Amino acid sequence: MSEQELRSQIAEKEDEITRVEEDASKKEASAEKEIEADFDDKIDDTKSKLEVGEVDLKEATEKSKDWTKKMNKLNVEVSSLKKKLDNLIKGKAKALNKKLDDILKEKRNKIKSYEADIKAFRKKLEKLEAEALKKRVSE
């Protein structure tokens, strides 16, 4: 392999690293949007239901005896909605972290492979340069 070919291959691998990094950046941005799309509507809907439930619970408490049955029902509903909201918020964070970790692992693996190729090409280039230097010295 000639020096120029090795330099060209090094440049190609460096370009690949740049493409991998750009692709990972795009994936990170889309991962956040994707996770938000999956969870934000559910979270907002659940928050709205929770707020309504909390207001109704307060009214039921004020009207006490007449509203005891409704109050008990709303207590269960509000508790369930709080748990659901907590689970959705935790699920969103967990899903995003997993997605970002997967992207990072993929990026690291690709870069590691390209860097190994670059190292091998550089060794070949150094060997060719040393041989060329020996040739020049012997002439």
The distance in angstroms from the start CA to the end CA of the chain is 22
pLDDT in tens, 24-72: 999 998 898 888 888 999 999 999 999 999 998 888 778 776 767 877 8
Overall average pLDDT of the 113-127 stretch: 95
Overall average pLDDT of the 113-121 stretch: 95
Query: What is the tally of structural domains in the chain?
Result: 1
* Structural domain range at position 97: 3-138
Residues 6+ apart with CB under 8 A from 61: 67, 71
The CATH number that applies at residue 7 is 1.10.287
Look at residue 137 in the predicted model and tell me its pLDDT: 84
Q: Are the C-beta atoms of 53 and 82 separated by less than 8 Å? A: no
The amino acid sitting at 135 is K
Paired tokens of 106:
């993929």
Reported pTM: 0.47
